[in-house]
Chains A and B, each alone.
Chain A
Amino acid sequence: MTATETHRAIDAVWRIESAKLIAGLTRIVRDVGIAEDLAQDALLAALEKWPETGIPDNPGAWLMGTAKHRAIDILRRNQLLERKHEQLGHELEARQEAAVPDLDEAIDDHVGDDLLRLMFIACHPVLTMEARVALTLRLLGGLTTVEIARAFLVPEPTIAQRIVRAKRTLSDAKVPFEVPRGAELEARLSSVLGVIYLVFNEGYLATAGDDLLRPTLCDEALRLGRVLAELAPAEAEVHGLVALMEIQASRARARVSPSGEPVLLLDQDRSRWDQMLIRRGFAALTRAGQLGGSPGTYQLQAAIAACHARARTADETDWSRIAELYAELSALVPSPVVELNRAVAVGMASGPAAGLAIVDRLVSEPALKNYHLLPSVRADLLAKLGRHDEARAEFERAARMTQNARERELLLEKAGRGKREGGRGGKR
């Protein structure tokens, strides 16, 4: 192996081992920042040694062994310090050798638990959302600061600083290394899921950034979701989120035209949907369903995505089921945007008049004042009802509101079509 090949191989080992390594070390030193420094030191040692010795058979154990030695040094030093403090205050204390805990045992057990704890710490609510995202990608994704910065289109020092500050915040707040229990669990888990889904969407919805690292964010979010599904298999919403991401990712090839323009769901070439990911999404959704309980928001969104995935053509879409699911979602998290989506589904299932009735109730909604999809959806429904003059006015209003040039073009085109069809009724 040449030196470059070894370095690449070490990168790969790091990618596989780093999260487990940091998690195990955090268990010993109880500080994520110190744990990551120790892990980085072990990586440096590997970069120094392995080009000569070759990559060991069990590289994970080698890295952990190396890092553990340093961890023990630190612990001993701290204990010495503590002891000195004690000596200053009191007389000699009897309990000298407050022995280093049995580290091997501590590490080898509960690798999974440690990873889960690390996820909960990285997504802790004392941190800002931005910090949670950066820290999660760094500690659990094994991404470098440079990679994270490139994926989020921000300068590298910004991310580096964000991570340093996050680690300090965690340390100052003395955030315990544990899996939260009881009532706290739900809120904390929802923070973890929120971070993963944000990373996914950052990659999925990206139109900006001429960089392959943005799809990497999708892949990484999916991977973290799949990891979490194994760590917390009893949590239905985890499987719900995984199902949602798998099904959305299955459309990646179809949702952008060769010239880079977004293709709407109903216009996509369904033969380009990735059937393997769809099947995985269905499997995750089934797992969520088998756990019972009333479905959460991710599970409901995944169920909606699954309705689309099941339809072989856009015409075969089960819109009444989708309308029902949006109604459930709306009851769970009341939101005008969800209502607008429900209006679209109802419009498809029960006819444009029923859809329009819902949309009209949203017109005075302040949250949607600048939301171009409101007039756009309303215009579509009006056009289907043959009210072409009103439809054109709404298309034009939507066109004025959108920030996206390509979308504006599309809306104005529809407005123009409405003009030609003016007076003629019926469906589109």
Chain B
Amino acid sequence: MRFVAMVRATNASEAGEMPSQELPAEMGKFNEELVKAGVLLADEGLQPSSRGARVRFSGKNRSIIDGPFSETKELIAGFWILQVKSKEEAIQWIKRSPNPFPTGESEIEIRQIFEADDFGEQFTPELREQEKRMRAEVAARR
């Protein structure tokens, strides 16, 4: 299963302040550990929201709002995509991350990505059942 681990923005990240010298090195080491363990699918850091925009939908209308956005704590400053066996494993990995904002408080939110199977279960119970029967037949023939 896959998880996104999102680093919440802070005033510093929104101000476009570059992290101290130690952090990139530490973060690099952490990322390398993730790569070596074969669990890192992707990772990116995001520029401040002042360089972004929002498209707001209202019924059939769309309007454009340019950044920056004020509610800093709801913004994302970067993310990893991890492929692991459980939510707990994702947590254990993220616990090992250096603090993305070493001098202050920060938060990394872990969310599971939907996989094809997650939909199957919710939307097509009868098809699931059919597949189950078919698979059982195949298994029996083995």
Q: What is the 8 Å Cβ interface bit string for chain A, positions 216-234, against chain B (1 contact, 0 not)?
A: 1001001111110011000
CB proximity to A under 8 Å, residues B83-142: 83-86, 88-89, 91-93, 116-117, 120, 124, 127, 130-132, 134-136, 138-139, 141-142
Contacts A11-B86, A225-B38 aside, 16 further interface pairs with beta carbons under 8 A come to A11-B88, A12-B85, A15-B86, A16-B92, A153-B139, A208-B135, A208-B138, A208-B139, A210-B136, A222-B38, A224-B38, A226-B38, A227-B37, A253-B116, A260-B131, A276-B41
Nearest-Cβ distance from residue B29 to partner chain A, whole angstroms: 14
A-B contact pairs, 24 of them (CB 8 A): A9-B92, A12-B85, A12-B89, A13-B92, A15-B86, A16-B92, A153-B139, A153-B142, A207-B134, A208-B138, A208-B139, A210-B132, A210-B139, A219-B83, A223-B37, A223-B39, A226-B38, A227-B37, A230-B35, A230-B38, A253-B116, A258-B120, A260-B134, A276-B41
Please name all residues of chain B whose beta carbon is closer than 8 Å to the beta carbon of A351 when the two chains form the complex. none
**A226-B38, A260-B131 known; A12 vs B142 contact (CB < 8 Å):** no
Give the residue name and chain of the B residue nearest to A220 (CB): B85
Interface residues of A (CB under 8 A from B): 8-9, 11-13, 15-16, 59, 112, 153, 207-210, 212, 215-216, 219, 222-227, 230-231, 252-253, 258-260, 276, 280, 403
Give the residue name and chain of the A residue nearest to B128 (CB): A260
Q: Indicate if the CB atoms of A8 and B88 lie closer than 8 Å.
A: yes
Nearest-Cβ distance from residue B2 to partner chain A, whole angstroms: 9
Nearest-Cβ distance from residue A203 to partner chain B, whole angstroms: 13
CB proximity to A under 8 Å, residues B53-100: 81, 83-86, 88-89, 91-93
Q: B12 at the A/B interface (Cβ < 8 Å)?
A: no
Q: By the criterion of a CB under 8 Å from any partner CB, how many residues of chain B are at the interface? A: 32
Q: B15 at the A/B interface (Cβ < 8 Å)?
A: no
Majority secondary structure, A binding face: helix
**A16-B37, A16-B93 known; A208 vs B120 contact (CB < 8 Å):** no
Compute how far the CA of A222 lies from the CA of B82 in the bound complex, rounded to whole angstroms.
13
Please name all residues of chain B whose beta carbon is closer than 8 Å to the beta carbon of A219 when the two chains form the complex. 83, 85
**One of A153, A210, A227 near B36 (C-beta < 8 A):** A227
Majority secondary structure, B binding face: helix
Please name all residues of chain B whose beta carbon is closer than 8 Å to the beta carbon of A230 when the two chains form the complex. 35-36, 38
Q: Indicate if the CB atoms of B135 and A207 lie closer than 8 Å.
A: yes
Please name all residues of chain B whose beta carbon is closer than 8 Å to the beta carbon of A260 when the two chains form the complex. 127, 130-131, 134-135
Please name all residues of chain A whose beta carbon is closer than 8 Å to the beta carbon of B39 when the two chains form the complex. 223
Please name all residues of chain B whose beta carbon is closer than 8 Å to the beta carbon of A207 when the two chains form the complex. 134-135, 138
Q: Indicate if the CB atoms of B130 and A259 lie closer than 8 Å.
A: yes
**One of B83, B117, B135, B139 near A223 (C-beta < 8 A):** B83
Please name all residues of chain B whose beta carbon is closer than 8 Å to the beta carbon of A223 when the two chains form the complex. 37-39, 83
Compute how far the CA of A276 lies from the CA of B120 in the bound complex, rounded to whole angstroms.
22
Q: How many contacting A-B pairs (Cβ < 8 A)?
A: 79
Please name all residues of chain B whose beta carbon is closer than 8 Å to the beta carbon of A215 when the two chains form the complex. 117
**One of A208, A210, A259, A403 near B127 (C-beta < 8 A):** A259
Interface residues of B (CB under 8 A from A): 35-39, 41-42, 81, 83-86, 88-89, 91-93, 116-117, 120, 124, 127, 130-132, 134-136, 138-139, 141-142
Please name all residues of chain B whose beta carbon is closer than 8 Å to the beta carbon of A9 when the two chains form the complex. 88, 91-92
Q: 8 tightest CB-CB pairs across the interface, nearest first?
A: A260-B131, A226-B38, A12-B88, A223-B38, A12-B89, A227-B38, A208-B139, A12-B92
Please name all residues of chain B whose beta carbon is closer than 8 Å to the beta carbon of A259 when the two chains form the complex. 127, 130-131
Compute how far the CA of A356 lies from the CA of B127 in the bound complex, rounded to whole angstroms.
39
Compute how far the CA of A226 lies from the CA of B139 in the bound complex, rounded to whole angstroms.
31
Give the residue name and chain of the B residue nearest to A216 (CB): B85
Q: Indicate if the CB atoms of B86 and A8 lie closer than 8 Å.
A: yes
Nearest-Cβ distance from residue A321 to partner chain B, whole angstroms: 28
Please name all residues of chain A whose beta carbon is closer than 8 Å to the beta carbon of B124 when the two chains form the complex. 258
Give the residue name and chain of the A residue nearest to B135 (CB): A210
Give the residue name and chain of the A residue nearest to B40 (CB): A226
**One of B85, B117, B134, B135 near A15 (C-beta < 8 A):** B85
Compute how far the CA of A219 lies from the CA of B39 in the bound complex, rounded to whole angstroms.
10
Nearest-Cβ distance from residue B38 to partner chain A, whole angstroms: 4
Q: Indicate if the CB atoms of B117 and A212 lie closer than 8 Å.
A: yes
Please name all residues of chain B whose beta carbon is closer than 8 Å to the beta carbon of A227 when the two chains form the complex. 36-38
Please name all residues of chain B whose beta carbon is closer than 8 Å to the beta carbon of A222 when the two chains form the complex. 38, 83
Compute how far the CA of A260 lies from the CA of B35 in the bound complex, rounded to whole angstroms.
33
Q: Indicate if the CB atoms of A276 and B42 lie closer than 8 Å.
A: yes
Compute how far the CA of A231 lies from the CA of B32 in the bound complex, rounded to whole angstroms.
12
Compute how far the CA of A210 lies from the CA of B130 in the bound complex, rounded to whole angstroms.
11
Nearest-Cβ distance from residue A205 to partner chain B, whole angstroms: 12
Q: Indicate if the CB atoms of A209 and B135 lie closer than 8 Å.
A: yes
Nearest-Cβ distance from residue A20 to partner chain B, whole angstroms: 9
Please name all residues of chain A whose beta carbon is closer than 8 Å to the beta carbon of B37 when the two chains form the complex. 16, 223, 227
